[in-house]
Amino acid sequence: MRALFIGDVVGSPGRRGLAAAMPELRERHQPDVVIVNGENTAGGVGITEKTAKALFDIGTDVITTGNHVYRHREVYDYLDRTDRVIRPANYPQGNPGRGHTVIEAGGRRVGVINLSGAVGLNVARLPFHTVDVILDQIEADCVLVDFHAEVTSEKVAMGWHLDGRVAAVFGTHTHVPTADGRVLPKGTAFITDVGMTGSRTSVLGVKPEQALASLTTQMPPRFDTAEEDVWVMGAVVEINERGLADSFEQVMVPSPPTS
């Protein structure tokens, strides 16, 4: 089976760009399951039920998130009601939402786990210990992991920690695609960061002049989502009958123009 993973979708430009690109992505890659990181879909920061449903309307199966998941309080109830939008599993257990899910796709039980890095981000438990516990309990034919982390070394370490135990580890959060995508020796596809789905004429999705003003003046910023030159970034993994990866292909394509 094939899994298509899409990196952090930033604001309405990212949502529109992914919607425009999805027909071609489906035709080219023929994915059995589509996973999208949606933690920046609502105005560039956070997620709402409305923006989640916009991703589901274009064929997304599971939405992962990250450190901005709780930015909009109105989403809390929705996170508790749905099993298709997940938040980092190593957040406090009483927080809204769940950290992993299992769905049926391509005739198989596909597990999806969301984790947050512990270096530079706030978590309740180390991601390495948390994922070990989940893997001992989860009933799935293959497992895909979104590791939403700040530090490159922590992401790379997670890839080696899970090599041979999950089909793929997709790094997210830093919005810049890395060049290390591959299948590790024991069969786990890995990339440090898949990048973002949003404007490349930006600083991580933000209008450049606003990001520069914040960095040069150290004053409280006003950030607006940039809209020009939207690209879709992610990865495609071919998963074998053993639940491990046979191949990894990075996705970096400009979004078709939208009217």
pLDDT at 197: 97
240, 201 Cβ separation under 8 angstroms:
no
**Res 178: pLDDT:** 98
On whether the CB atoms of residues 43 and 257 are closer than 8 A, the answer is no
**3-state SS class at 198:** strand
Q: What is the DSSP letter of 105?
A: E
The whole-model pTM stands at 0.95
pLDDT tens, position by position, 31-74: 999 999 999 999 899 999 999 999 999 999 999 999 999 999 99
Distances (CA, A) of 87 to 63, 64, 70, 82, 146: 9, 6, 9, 11, 10
Domain annotation for the chain: domains and CATH numbers = 2-254 (3.60.21.10)
Show Cβ contacts of residue 226 under 8 Å, excluding neighbours closer than 6 positions.
13, 198, 199, 201, 202, 205, 206, 207, 208
Catalogue the E-assigned strands of the chain.
Answer: 2-6, 33-37, 62-64, 100-105, 108-116, 142-148, 168-172, 182-183, 189-191, 198-199, 230-239, 245-254
The total of other beta-carbon atoms located within 10 Å of residue 28's CB is 13
Find tokens 């790379």 and name the residue.
156
Active site residue 68: yes
pLDDT, tens digit (0-9, with 9 covering 90-100), for 210-242 = 899 999 998 887 788 888 999 999 999 999 999
**Options 68, 100, 173, 175, the catalytic residue:** 68
- State the pLDDT at residue 206: 83
- Regions of the chain where pLDDT drops below 70: 258-259
Which of 240, 127, 246 has its CA nearest to residue 182?
246
